[in-house]
Amino acid sequence: MSGMSKIVKTISSIIFPFITIYGLYVIAHGHLTPGGGFQGGAVVASGLAMLLVAYGSVWTMGKLKEKHLSINQTLESVGAIGFIGLAFFGLIFGTKIFFNNFLVNKQDYLFGATVKLGETAANINTAGILPLMNFAVGLKVIAGLFGIVLLMAYATRLKEGK
């Protein structure tokens, strides 16, 4: 599959950082606003897929090697292991139950602040391990969904014999 016109390539390159920043915002605010790891990861993967369609699979596979596909699979596995690893850490710390939120309301740690009562502005530095789990799920969804599109482009490149 060859690339699209120069107009499409330029516009895609310009709006790709904004889509990525919006997706990372949805992931980072997963415990405060609608959305979370899956939704933000789907948004980031959509931006990556837009770039791939605009530039074409021939150009993309010229830049990417087989090694990068295995790096993609490794990142997906890191996301899954991070999620279930945080769940198993709950068996070690705190009250020792599965999925125990052992970081919540511990002021010394990241995401450890206590939520204020009443109508206050939302504080991102709360909720314990939930933001970390959102980051893990976001990494897994970005790598997984982009890996599907990447393999599709790889297969079409093989069909053209290039």
Query: Contact positions toward other proteins, by CB under 8 A?
Result: 1-2, 26, 34-36, 38-39, 42-43, 45-46, 49-50, 52-53, 57, 145, 148-149, 152-153, 155-156, 159-160
CB-nearer residue toward other proteins: 23 or 128: 23
Residue 1 beta carbon to other proteins: minimum distance, rounded to whole angstroms: 4
CB of 153 vs other proteins, minimal distance in Å: 6
Give the residue with the Cβ less far from other proteins, 90 or 138: 138
Do 103 and 129 touch, CB atoms closer than 8 A?
Answer: yes
> Are 75 and 55 a contacting pair, CB within 8 Å?
no
Residue among 46 and 89 whose Cβ is closer to other proteins: 46
Buried b (16+ CB within 10 A) or exposed e, 71-93: ebeebbeebeebbeebeebbeee
Q: Which is nearer to other proteins, 26 or 143 (CB)?
A: 26
DSSP state at residue 162: -
Neighbours of 139 (CB within 10 A): 22
Q: Name the CA dihedral angle for 22, 24, 29, 34, rounded to a multiple of 10 degrees.
A: 60
Give me the amino acid identity at 147: G
Structure-token pair, residue 153: 């482009």
Least distance in Å: CB of 59 to other proteins?
A: 13
43 or 129: CB nearest other proteins: 43
- CB 63, min distance to other proteins, A: 16
Provide, rounded to whole angstroms, the least separation between the CB of residue 56 and other proteins: 8
